Amino acid sequence: MSQKQKTVKKATKSAGREEELLKLEAKYCSWGDTVHYADKLNIFDRAEGIYLYDREGAEYLDLQMWYSAVNFGYKNRRLNEALKRQIDKMPQLACQYLHEEKILLATKIGQRVEMTFEAQGRVHFNVGGAQAVEDSLKVVRNHTHKNLVFAFMGGYHGRTLGASAITSSYRYREKFGHFSDRALFVPYPYCFRCMYEKKREFCDLYCLRQFEKLFETEYHAILNKKNNECEFGAFYVESVQGTGGYVIPPAEYFSRLKEILDRYKILLIDDEIQMGFYRTGKLWGIEHFNVVPDVIVFGKALTNGLNPISGIWAKEKLISPQVFPPGSTHSTFSANPLGTAIGLETMKLIEDSDFAVSVPRKGEYFLAQLRKLRKKYPQIGDVDGLGLALRIEICQKDGFTPNKELTDAIANIGLGANLNVGGKKRGLILDVGGYYKNVFTLAPSLSIEEEEIDLAVELFEEALKKGIAQTA
């Protein structure tokens, strides 16, 4: 058999196997997760650096990196080694017992927050992001004795019941009964599509003024003017909205919001699950905005997508042993030794790296390329970025009306692995977010190099051109 015949035979066998696997998936896997959002289902086989590979060996440049969980690249050697070392040392331990890595990781995070915000606090670990959000809700309720919180329109905090109650999309709650303590959702400063149709240059944060008005009289339904008690205990924010479409607020927004919250003893809870660990060029995205949060919630990139752990940091007055005693919250796998060992190595890797400099530099470079594309294609309504959290908003030719059809077409073309840059067929992994599902939220690996950014932009332009032709 010739080499060509052998290759064809191998590809046919592989295609047959893929078909078989997809049939099994269709029958035995729940469709309740997000896999079936896509028209074309890919089965991936390998990952390395900024690339994913499918079973045929096709290479996909990943601009999503597991929704910003893999900030430090696939198969990061240093983090993988930390995992392997821990597997050989002590892979399992019930979380009621102590191990060194847990203590050191909590210490590193606590000391880092202390240094940045001059605030004392403690860390409590859990497993997934939404679970950490649940823990933060307990901390809020315990401290304020209030069930109600504010959150933002466009905000996303996870899909457990408590996290769904403070996540803006009704779609995520609709089938699951009445959410009596659902958040009061406030318009986010999404200036490209201002809820109040204002222009940023002249608005003086009109949206914030509207929020402030809620406190003017008891008849606006949230405040007892006689004792200054607000019915709401906390405000949940993302420093940059993630699933909402990487929407970056005006520089002074959060500090002015915090002034209002402080007047009524409302806690500021900062969900850094997606923006944390240098996605924006700082450890926590909120560091760009000159405010001190009362609680920070983190997850995702702490373990680079390896054995997950999440957690909260809370100010001492909210989480001291006197107010949050043993047993206040618990999960079997929280603070698991594999996760804490990787998390500790992640914190050391951060200390040894120059992300505070390199991420903003790379982000500016990437954004400059995207701005050039925007000039060429009216369908790109907006591009923006903070560090390596970048957004491309896809519109109709008027540059404003959301164009979900084109967005989906581009994402599917990327998954088709048929883009041809430099004579090699490649794919492109893109995440779709935004209020109108027309935004590409780019979260490349923090170690992406300039040539790889150029390649990513070339691949994106080709997918865009094909998408425009397909949907014309």
- Residues forming contacts to ligand PLP in the complex (CB under 6 A) are 67, 128-130, 133, 156-158, 238, 242-243, 271, 273-274, 299
- Cβ 376 to ligand PLP shortest distance, Å: 31
Task: Report yes or no: 164 and 178 within 8 Å, Cβ to Cβ.
Answer: no
- Nearer to ligand PLP (CB atom), residue 246 or residue 413: 246
Those residues with Cβ within 8 angstroms of residue 347's Cβ, 6 or more apart along the chain or in another chain:
105, 108, 109, 112
**C-beta of 157 vs 315, nearer to ligand PLP:** 157
**Order of strands across the sheet that contains 232-238:** 121-126, 310-315, 295-298, 267-271, 232-238, 148-152, 184-186
Q: Which residue has the tokens 């892979």?
A: 91
In angstroms, give the least distance from the CB of 14 to ligand PLP. 32
Closest approach of ligand PLP to the CB of residue 435, in Å:
15
Alpha helices in 296-426 (DSSP H): 316-319, 337-352, 355-376, 404-415
> In 3-state terms, what secondary structure has residue 185?
strand
CB of 126 to ligand PLP, least distance (A): 10
Written as six digits, the tokens of 344 are: 């500790």
Task: Report the residue number whose CB is nearest to ligand PLP.
Answer: 129
Phi, psi of 241 (to 5 degrees): -65, 130
* 8 A C-beta contact, residue 146 and residue 231: yes
Structure token digits, residue 333: 């796998």
User: Shortest distance, CB of residue 442 to ligand PLP, whole angstroms?
Assistant: 14
Q: What angle do CA 51, 85, 275 make, to 5 degrees?
A: 45
158 versus 337: smaller Cβ distance to ligand PLP: 158
**Cβ at position 347, least distance to ligand PLP in Å:** 19
Using the minimum distance from each CB to ligand PLP, give the nearer residue, 133 or 335: 133
Looking at the Cβ atoms of 243 and 445, the one nearer to ligand PLP is 243
Helix and strand numbers (H, E) in the chain are 14, 18
Is the Cβ of residue 128 or residue 434 nearer to ligand PLP in the bound state?
Answer: 128
* SS3 labels along 206-255: HHHHHHHHCCCCHHHCCEECCCCEECEEEEEEECCECCCCCECCCCCHHH
- Minimum distance of ligand PLP from residue 127's CB (angstroms): 8
The residue among 380 and 443 lying less far from ligand PLP, judged by its C-beta, is 443
Q: How far is the CB of 136 from ligand PLP (least distance, A)?
A: 10
Nearer to ligand PLP, 132 or 341 (CB): 132
Tokens standing for residue 89: 């040392």
Q: Among residues 33 and 352, whose Cβ is nearest to ligand PLP?
A: 33
Least separation in angstroms between CB 451 and ligand PLP? 29
Tokens of 369: 């390329």
CA–CA distance, 384 with 163 (Å, rounded to integer): 28
